[in-house]
Amino acid sequence: MKNNNEQQNNNKERNNERPQEKNEFVRSVAEKMYEFGFTTDVHTEIIDKGLNEDVVRLISQKKGEPEWLLQFRLDAYRYWLTQQQPEWGHVHLPEIDYQAISYYADPTAKSKKGPETVDEIDPELMKTFDKLGIPLEERLALSGTAVDAVMDSVSVKTTFKEKLSEKGIIFCSISEAVKQYPDLVRQYLGTVVPPRDNYFAALNSAVFSDGSFVYIPKNTRCPMELSTYFRINARNTGQFERTLIVCDEGSYVSYLEGCTAPMRDENQLHAAIVEIVINDHAEVKYSTVQNWYPGDAEGKGGVLNLVTKRGDLRGVNSKLSWTQVETGSAITWKYPSCVLRGDNSQAEFYSVAVTNNHQEADTGTKMIHLGKNTRSTIISKGISAGYSENSYRGLVRVGKQADGARNYSSCDSLLLGSNCGAHTFPYMDIHNNTATVEHEATTSKINEDQLFYCNQRGISTEEAVGLIVNGYAKDVINKLPMEFAVEAQKLLNVSLEGSVG
Amino acid sequence: MLQIKNLHAKVGDKEILKGINLTINDGEIHAVMGTNGAGKSTLSNVIVGNPNYEVTEGSILFNGQDLLQMSPEERAQAGVFLSFQAPVEIPGVSMTNFMRAAVNARRQALGKEPLKSTDFLKLMREKRKLVEIDQKLMNRSVNEGFSGGERKRNEIFQMAMLDPTFCILDETDSGLDVDALRIVADGFNKLRTAETSAIVITHYQRLLDYIRPDFVHVLIDGRIVKEGTADLARQIEETGFDWIKEELV
Amino acid sequence: MKSEQQYIELYQEAASIIKAKSCPVMNAVRNEAFSTFQCLGFPSKKVERYKYTDVDAAFAPNYGISLSPLTVKPSSYIFNIKDAPIDVTPYYHRVADVTDAITALNTALVHETLLVYVPKNTVVEDPVVVDNYLRGTAATMMNRRVLIVMEQGAKATIVMNDKATDKQQYLTTQVVEVYCHDNATLDLYEIEETTPLCARFSNVYIREGRDCSVKHNVFTLFNGLTRNLCDVYLQGEHGEVTLNGCAIGSGSRHIDNNTLIHHQVPQCVSRECYKYVVDDKSVGAFAGKILVDKDAQKTSSHETNANLCASSDARMYTQPMLEIYADDVKCAHGSTVGVMDEAALFYMRQRGIPEDEARALLKNAFMGEVVDQVKNEALRQKLYVKVEKRFRGDFEKCEDCQLCKK
C-alpha cells in the first residue's frame, strides 16, 4: 500500500479517532475519500430531464441517426414502458426516478463539431484525464494503447485511428459508426443483447448515448490493445453506453474498458450494454477495471452500475475471455455472459469484486453451452469489507445438443470484518448427459496465520492485508494486460484502505 | 488362435496402425517390441475393443470368430484378457463384487452356473496366493490406492480368476522392481497351459527372461518391420532399434 | 384455472368435518393457516424456492381427501397427538415456516398428527419406524403431519417409509416438525418407494438447541413427482447437523430437493451431501442454501452435491448457495454434474462384465457414499441392497415404460 497522498494520511488520523471494534485487526472503517471525485468545468449541453418518446426522438435527431435506428430506439422504449424494474438481485436497488434523469449530455457541444486533433480537445477535459492518470496522448502512444475516451456521452477523441485503419480495423464511437458504417452496425446491433432482453437493456436501447464500435476484419490480429475510458461527469446524467465489438473469422482483439466517475451525492445511473460477436476461429479478450464512485462511508451517493454484457461465440473454435476488476459503484448488477454457440468454442470469466462501506455487488456470469465440445471456466473472487454485500451469481447451462461440454467454476469469498456479507448463488442447468460441470466455492475470513507471519516479518497489518488480498486475487489480475494489472492492484489497495486497523 | 490381417486403426484423426499382419497359434508366446508411439498399445486396445480406437481396415479372427464384430465384454467372455498398462481406479466398486461379476459373466458365457459365494471366495483365496497379493487389497475398491506394483499383480490375479485362453500383457513390466517382476511372471507361467497363447508387449529383454517368447516382432510406425526368435529381442536389448530403422531406409 | 381454488372450496366445505375429527391444538391454528394459503395460493415457478417444480400442475387433478384415522401401535414414544403426554402447544406449528404455501395448506387440511416424544435423557435403542402406505381405489390426497419432540439428552432413530401399493394417483403433503432440546441426538430417515403416479410434497423443519446432533437422510428410490424441503435452524451453540440425500430418477420422474441450513448462533457445524443419478427423461433438482447470520461466528459448513446424468434426455438443475454475514467462518460447497467414467467402464467390460451391469455397478458405487453415511447398521445394509436393486431394476423400468407410454 504505497499511496502517499495526503488524503490517506488524513484518513488514517480520522480512523484512529474512531472507537475500536471488538475485532482488533479486521475492523471496518470509513475509507479514504474518493480519489477521483472532482467535476470538470466543461460546457455541457444537457437535454432537459425526463424521458418520453420526444426525448428518444430528440436524442436520435441530435445524433443525426437514420430512421431504422430511431425505430429501434422507439420499439425498445415502448417495450421498456411495459416492464418493471427487476428485484431479484441481492442488492437494494433504490427506486429510480427515471423522469429526474437527463438522458443526453454532450461535453463537446461548445465546439459543435467533434475535435479533429488533440489540440482541439477542451484543455479542461485533458486535465481531467491527467488527474485520472490516464495519459491520452504521448504516454498512450508509448504504451501502445488506442483510446476512444468517452466523457459523458460523446466520444471525445480516438487515437491511432489511422494506424488501425491501415489494417482495416474500425475503432470509433458508435455514433460515428452509425454514420460511416451503417450496414455493419445495423447487421449486428441488438443481435447479442436484444432490446427486450431485460429492463435495463430496453432502457439503454431506447436512449443510448454513445460508446465504442470495433470491427476486426478477417484474419487480422489487432496490433494494439483497444481502450476506452468512460467517465460519468455531468450532474444527474444517466450514462447509457453502448459498445459493439465484432471480431471476424480468424481475428483477435484485446479490449480494455476503464471507468471512473466523479463524486456526486445523488445516485447516478449507469445502464450500459456491451455486445460482442465472435466468428470462426476468432478471439476476443475484454477487460474491465471499474472504480466508479462507490458512495461515501455512510453509503450516500455512488453510481448504480446496471450493465448487460454478452458475447456471442458464433463461430467454431471461437474464444472469449471476460476479465473484470470491480471496486467501485454503490450498486453493481452485472453478469458478463457468453453464449457458446460455435462447436469447440471456449469462454472464460475472471472476476475480482471488492466491496467496502455500504457498497453492494451482485455480479457473475452466464455460460450458455449450445455447441459441441464447448469449454468454459469461471474464476470469481469476492472481497467484502465494511458494511457491504458481495454476491456471486452465475448460471451454467448445457443445452441438449451441447455434447461434451465442460465447465469449471470456482468462486471464493473473503470476508474482512464482521458487518459485511458474502454470498454465492450458482445455478447449473444441465440438459445433456455428456457434460461435465464442476463448481466449487469457499467462504472464509482472512487467514490470521498469514497475517501474523507478515507481522512477524515487520509488515504492518494493513499492508499485509493488501498483500494477501492481492495474492488472493492474483489468478484474475494476471489475466489483465500489463498496464491494467498494475492499475487494478493499486485499486484493490485503495478500495480496502482503512478496512482493517 | 488369433489371426490379424492387414489391420489399420486410428485414434481421432490419426492413423496409428498401418497394416498389421500377425498369426498366433495355440500355445505360442509372441513378444511385440518397439519404440514409444509405434502402436504397441493401440494394437492391444484394438484387439480388446476399446471404443476410443477405430478400426478402418482389416480383420481379426479369434478361434474363427470375427472379433471386431464383438463387444468388449463378449471378447473377454470368449477368453481374451488384457493386462492393462495403466489399470484405472474404480472408486466405490469393491474388488470382490467386481470379480464376482466378471467371473460369473465368463461362466455364463461358457454355459456354466454362477459360482456359489463360498466357492467363489475359496477361488479368490487360492488365486490370491499365486500372485502373493494381500487380502486387504481385496477389501478395497478396484485399484484404489494400489501402488504401481500392486496394480500389476492385481491384473495377473484377475487373469488367474478369469482363466483366459489368450492374454495380452501390455508393458506389465513397467514400474516393477525385480522381485515384483519375478512374482508377476511366475504367476503368469503357472497359469499357462499348453493351449494358452499370449502377446507380451515390452521395451525390455528383462521380462522375456522370465516369459520366453516363441517369436519376436518389431513394431515401428504402425507396421511390423522385423520378425525373429528370442535372439532378436536380445539383439535389440544390446543395440537398440536404430539398426532396424536403418535397414528400412 | 388456478389449482388452489378447488382446495379453497374443499376447505370451506370440509372444515367442520376436519375440525371434528381433529383436536384443539391443531384446530387452533387451522383457520389462520387457511387464510395464509388463500392469500398465497400455490407458489409459481417465479418463487425462488419453487422454481424447479410446477406445484400448480401437481395439485390440479381432482383428488379426494383422505380422512382415514392414524394407526398407532402402542409404544412408549409414539402417540396420536390427541393422546399426547405433554402439552404440545409450544411445538405444534411453531418450528414450521408458516409463510410456506404447502405448509399452510397442510396445516389447514390435516386432521391428525403423529407425535414422537422422547423424554429427557432417554435413549431409544431400536429405530422408531413410521410406515406410510398409500392405498385406495380413487385418486386421493393425504395430508400428513408429524411432530417430533426430543427432550434434553434424548436419543432416537426414526425411520419413515413411504410406500404405495396400488396403481392409483396419490398426492401427499407432509409437514414434519422436529424440536430438539439441548444435547439431543436424532437420526431421521425418509425412504420413498412409491410409484410414478404419486406426487409428494414434504416439508421438514428442524430446530436444534445447544450441543444437538441431527442427521436427516432422505432416499428417493422410486417415486413420481417428489418435492422435499428441509429447513434446519441451528439455535444453540455447538449444534451439528448432517443432511444426506440420495435421489434416483428414471422414466419421467421428478425429484426436487430444497434445503436451508440456517446458522443462527456461533460454533455450529453443518454437513450436507446430496447425490443424484438421473436416467431416461427424469429431472433432478437440488437447491441448498447455507445461511450464516452475522453473529454465527466460527461456523463450519460444507456442502456437496454430485450428480450423474445417465441419459441424454435427463435433466439436472443444481443450485448450491452460500449466504454469509459472519466473517469468521469456514464455508465451502462443491457441485458437480458428470458423466460415467468411460475408462472404468471399459476396464470392467474387458473383464467380461456386460455393459449394463458395469453401468449399474458404477452408479451403485457413486451412490454408495450416501448410503455409507447411514449410522444404523441394519438399515444401512438394507439400503445398500435397495439401491443396488434400484440400479438393476429391470422390472421396475419396464413397468415405468408402460406407464410412460400411456
**pLDDT tens sequence across A320-336:** 999 998 888 888 989 99
Q: Which residues of B touch C362 (CB under 8 A)?
A: 90, 92-93
Contacts of C69 (CB under 8 A, 6+ apart): C21, C112
Q: Which residues of chain C have pLDDT under 70?
A: 1, 166, 394-406
Site of grid cell 485520472: A132
- Nearest chain A alpha carbon to C309: A433
A426 vs C297: CB contact, 8 Å cut-off? no
Domain ranges in chain A? 37-334
Separation of alpha carbons C310 and C307, rounded Å: 9
Sorted by sequence, the CB contacts under 8 Å of residue B11 that are 6+ apart come out as B42, B52, B53, B54
User: Residue C338 is nearest to which of A23, A427, A436, comparing CB atoms?
Assistant: A436
Distances (CA, A) of C396 to A315, C132, C223, C368, C390: 45, 20, 11, 21, 8
For B209, residues 6+ apart whose C-beta sits below 8 A from its C-beta are none
Give yes or no for residue A122 having a pLDDT over 70: no
Kindly tell me the burial class for residue C138, based on how many C-beta atoms sit within 10 Å of its own C-beta (0-12, 13-18, 19 or more). exposed
CB C147 within 8 A of CB C81: yes
CB–CB contact B106 C369 (8 Å)? no
Query: Measured between alpha carbons, how far is C190 from C131 in angstroms, rounded to an integer?
Result: 10
User: How far off is chain C from B247, nearest CA to CA, in Å?
Assistant: 38
CB C238 within 8 A of CB C210: yes
Dist. CA C106–CA A195, nearest whole Å: 44
Choose the closest CB to B76 out of C344, C351, C357. C351
Closest CA relative to residue B28, chosen from B153, B225, B198, B151 = B198
Mean pLDDT, to the nearest integer, of A304-329? Answer: 91
Query: Which pLDDT tens digit goes with each residue over C6-54?
Result: 999 999 988 999 999 999 999 999 999 999 999 999 999 888 899 999 9
Per CB distance under 8 Å, which residues of B are interface residues toward C? 48-52, 71-73, 75-77, 81-82, 84, 87-93, 97-98, 101-102, 105-106, 109, 141-142, 158, 162
Whole-number pLDDT of residue A124: 55
Cα distance between residue C286 and residue C272, in whole Å = 12
Q: Under a CB-based contact definition with an 8 Å cutoff, are residues A358 and A299 in contact?
A: yes
Mean per-residue pLDDT, A256-268: 61
Distance CA A80, CA A201 (A): 9
Residue A442 touches partner C, C-beta closer than 8 Å = yes
Q: Do C314 and A433 touch (CB under 8 A)?
A: yes
Tell me, what's the pLDDT at A138?
Answer: 37
Domain that holds residue C118: 4-342
Which CATH number belongs to the domain containing residue B127 in this structure? 3.40.50.300
Q: At what angle do helices B148-162 and B117-130 cross, to 10 degrees?
A: 130
The SS3 assignment for B206 reads helix
Interface chains of chain A (3 or more CB pairs under 8 Å)? C
Give, for C245, the enclosing helix (H) or strand (E): strand C240-249
Among A218, A229, A209, smallest CA distance to A253 is for A218
Q: Which domain holds residue B98?
A: 2-248
pLDDT for the residue A7: 41
| pLDDT at position A473 | 85
> Can you tell me the ipTM of this complex?
0.82
Contact B189, B212 (CB under 8 A): no
CB atoms within 10 A of CB B60: 23
How many CB pairs below 8 A link A and C?
A: 117
What string of pLDDT tens digits covers the 249 residues of chain B?
999 999 999 988 899 999 999 999 999 999 999 888 889 989 999 999 888 899 999 999 999 999 999 998 899 999 999 999 888 888 888 888 888 888 988 898 889 998 888 899 999 998 888 878 888 888 888 888 888 888 888 999 999 999 899 999 998 888 788 888 888 888 888 888 888 999 999 887 888 888 889 999 999 889 998 888 888 888 888 888 888 888 776
DSSP secondary structure letters along A238-294: -B--EEEEEE-TT-EEEEEEEEE----SSEEEE--EEEEEE-TT-EEEEEEEE----
pLDDT in tens, A142-186: 344 455 555 544 444 455 666 778 888 888 888 888 888 999 999
**Is C392 contained in some domain?**
no
Residues A73-95: pLDDT tens digits? 999 999 998 988 887 778 887 78
- Residue B201: φ, ψ to 5°: -100, 125
If pLDDT is split at 50, 70 and 90, which confidence band does A357 have? confident
Judge: B91–C357 Cβ closer than 8 Å, yes or no.
no
Residue C346 is nearest to which of B72, B141, B142, comparing CB atoms?
B72
Chain C partners within 8 Å of A496 (Cβ):
none
One-character DSSP codes across B156-185: HHHHHHH--SEEEEESTTTT--HHHHHHHH
CB contact under 8 A, A445 and C337: no
Q: Give the largest CA-CA distance in chain B.
A: 61
Contact predicate C376/C157, CB 8 Å: yes
Minimal CA separation from B248 to chain C, in Å: 36
Quickly state the pLDDT bin for A39 (edges 50, 70, 90): low
**Interchain pair C350, B98: CB under 8 A:** no
- The residue of chain A with its CA nearest to that of C297 is A418
Over residues A232-257, mean pLDDT: 79
Q: Which three cell numbers stand for residue C340?
A: 460415467
Q: Cα-flanking dihedrals φ and ψ of residue A324, to 5°?
A: -135, 140
Mean pLDDT of A295-317: 87
Q: Identify the chains in contact with B, defined as 3+ C-beta pairs within 8 A.
A: C
Share of chain A above pLDDT 70, in %: 73
Q: Do C347 and B91 touch (CB under 8 A)?
A: no
- Judged by DSSP in three states, C62 sits in coil
What pLDDT is attached to residue A463?
A: 74
Q: What is the mean pLDDT of chain C?
A: 90
**Interface residue of A367, A439, A448, A451 to substitute, partner C, most C CBs within 10 Å:** A439
pLDDT for res A25: 30
pLDDT more than 90, % of chain A: 31
* Residue among A416, A419, A428 whose CB faces C319 most closely: A428
Tally of domains in chain C: 1
- Chain B positions touching C346 (Cβ under 8 A) are 50-51, 72
**How many domains is chain B built from?**
1
Which among A23, A434, A439 is the nearest to C335, CB-wise?
A: A439
> In this predicted structure, what is the pLDDT of residue A313?
95
Number of C-alpha atoms within 13 angstroms, CB side, residue A158?
A: 22
Give the integer Cα–Cα distance in Å for C110 and C102.
12
Task: Please provide the DSSP assignment of A416-456 as one string.
Answer: ESSS-EEEEEEEEEE--TT-EEEEEEEEEEPPHHHHHHHHH
The whole-angstrom distance between C143's CA and the closest CA on chain A is 32
